[in-house]
Amino acid sequence: MKNITQEEWEELVASDDQAYILDVRTQNEVDEGIIPNSHHIDIYEGQGFIDKVNELDKSKNYYIYCRSGNRSGQAAQLMDQLGFETTYNLVGGFMEWDGDVAEAEE
């Protein structure tokens, strides 16, 4: 896992055709808006989170965020332990994100 700033995040995602953006917040938080093109799996689902993450392609590059950067850091470490090759944690999370925001899909 690597902690990255929003500037690093935007640069990496823009040039990464293997990027997978993962939002690990709760549904209520997701309803407030998401980083465009992100996929939602709530880390608070416990084993459900692990089961869903294990279905993902471990060779892709995962850009993970939550509200403040704590849960996404935990998610990235867990994913590393599960055999994911590349995980990035957004420092400051969605609270400090000042880039584009999209509506969450139902």
> Which residue, 8, 22, 24, is CA-closest to 70?
24
The predicted-structure confidence for 54-104, as pLDDT tens digits, reads as follows 999 999 999 999 999 999 999 999 999 999 999 999 999 999 999 999 998
Q: Which of 21, 24, 43, 66 is the catalytic position?
A: 66
Single-letter amino acid, residue 100:
D
- Provide the pLDDT for residue 45: 97
The predicted-structure confidence for 16-57, as pLDDT tens digits, reads as follows 999 999 999 999 999 999 999 999 999 999 999 999 999 999
**Domain range 2-96, CATH class:** alpha beta
Q: Please spell the DSSP secondary structure of the chain, one letter per residue.
A: -EEE-HHHHHHHHHT-TTEEEEE-S-HHHHTT-B-TTEEE--GGGTHHHHHHHHTS-TTSEEEEE-SSSHHHHHHHHHHHHTT-SEEEEETTTGGG--S--BPPP-
Q: Look up the pTM and report it.
A: 0.96
- Provide the pLDDT for residue 106: 61
32 is catalytic: no
